[in-house]
Amino acid sequence: MKEIAIPAGLNPVDFFGVNDLHLEMIRKSFPALKIVSRGTDLKVYGDDNQIERLQKLLNSMILRFEATGHLDVDFVSGLLEGEKEQKVITSETGKPGEVLVYGQNGLLIRARTPGQQRLVTSCEKNDITFAIGPAGTGKTYTAVALAVRALKNKEIRRIILTRPAVEAGENLGFLPGDLKEKIDPYLRPLYDALFDMIPGEKLKSFIENGIIEVAPLAFMRGRTLDHAYVILDEAQNATQSQLKMFLTRMGPSAKMIVTGDITQVDLPSNQPSGLVQGIALLNGIKGIGFVMLDAKDVVRHRLVRDIIEAYGKGEAKPPSRKKTDSQEKN
């Protein structure tokens, strides 16, 4: 048995939820533990390892409450979902998905699937890592989290995020505004990830001072990128010459991550993807890691996994035109 004390300043109703809603959610997620509440204290009976996991989860809830003054069902549910994913990571890889970055509003950002954990491990071992996989597997998000962690730990001086400015099968025509306004729509997913991890004013300062740079791939030509974490996103839309140009920008103290989905190439049909060629040419070079993610690593809506698997089986066949019962009777 272990007693877990909740800080005296926290209102139990606000912390555990009306009618102990948050506490009941926790009990359902830890069925092997007996959790008894006494005011702001909990008495927990059961396996020591599970009690330790519960303690960490409660600590995250306390940090969130102290930072924002409240807890909601979505946040508690997200923590509990992460706890389930943590078990999967531990059992399949032997390594826990440690927190990479503490994001805004108490958000815990970490590897959520075995594939994402392999990406983290590869980036720690190699100076260049290719992360290849379908949409929704968290390639870009995990890569940005690794870069932000390195910046916060002062392992690097800046973060450079880039992607080809290629339209996804659409002709958007003329875009109004200055150069930044023209290219920002292509780079929006990178900004979205950064906003989750760095407070708005601080991020604005980082961008203004060049500590974080978000730019199209064409802007990399002629540069030497050093003391930096450099991420090339949507690399399947880089041409062969562009990918070679990007990789050869690498300085002695840089780290690079190349992410892409070779099933969604938006280049013209007569233009081969540089990522496909790069995988074939560079595989086996010491210091370059390759991590393949699949539908099992999808962290978006559950239907995304089913959609990826369906498309992976090839072109869909049109449904057969069977007569309905009413048509047969007629």
Give me the chain's average pLDDT, please: 81
Reply yes or no on whether the pLDDT at 307 is more than 90.
Answer: no
Contact predicate 68/106, CB 8 Å: yes
The reported pLDDT for the residue numbered 155 is 93
Average the pLDDT over each of 150-154, 158-162, 297-301 and give the range with the smallest value. 297-301
Superfamily of structural domain 2-93: K Homology domain, type 1 (3.30.1370.10)
Cα–Cα distance list, 66 to 15, 40, 63, 80, 274 (Å): 10, 15, 5, 19, 48
Reply yes or no on whether the pLDDT at 216 is more than 70.
Answer: yes
Average the pLDDT over each of 24-33, 47-56, 112-121, 309-318 and give the range with the smallest value. 309-318
Reply yes or no on whether the pLDDT at 87 is more than 50.
Answer: no
Reply yes or no on whether the pLDDT at 124 is more than 90.
Answer: yes
Reply yes or no on whether the pLDDT at 229 is more than 50.
Answer: yes
CATH (residue range 107-312)? 3.40.50.300
Contact predicate 293/139, CB 8 Å: yes
pLDDT in tens, 258-288: 999 998 888 888 889 999 999 999 999 999 9
The reported pLDDT for the residue numbered 53 is 84
The reported pLDDT for the residue numbered 82 is 60
Looking at the chain, the whole-number percentage of residues with pLDDT higher than 70 is 81
The reported pLDDT for the residue numbered 314 is 64
Reply yes or no on whether the pLDDT at 39 is more than 80.
Answer: no
Q: Is 215 exposed, middle or buried (0-12, 13-18, 19+ CB in 10 A)?
A: middle
Reply yes or no on whether the pLDDT at 88 is more than 70.
Answer: no
Reply yes or no on whether the pLDDT at 244 is more than 90.
Answer: yes
Q: Is residue 42 classed as helix, strand or coil in its secondary structure?
A: strand
Residues 6+ apart with CB under 8 A from 113: 85, 88, 89, 137, 138, 293, 296, 297, 299
Reply yes or no on whether the pLDDT at 150 is more than 70.
Answer: yes
Identity of residue 213: E
Q: What is the 3-state secondary structure (H, E, C) of 125-165?
A: HCCEEEEECCCCCCHHHHHHHHHHHHHHCCCCCEEEEEECC
Q: How confident is the model at residue 319 (pLDDT cuts 50, 70, 90)?
A: very low
The reported pLDDT for the residue numbered 97 is 54
Select the highest-mean-pLDDT range: 7-16, 161-170, 220-229. 220-229
The domain spans of the chain are 2-93, 107-312
Q: How confident is the model at residue 249 (pLDDT cuts 50, 70, 90)?
A: very high
pTM above 0.75, yes or no: no
Identity of residue 92: E
Q: What does the pLDDT average to over 185-204?
A: 83
Reply yes or no on whether the pLDDT at 246 is more than 90.
Answer: yes
Q: Is 42 exposed, middle or buried (0-12, 13-18, 19+ CB in 10 A)?
A: buried
* Cross-strand pairs, 289: 129
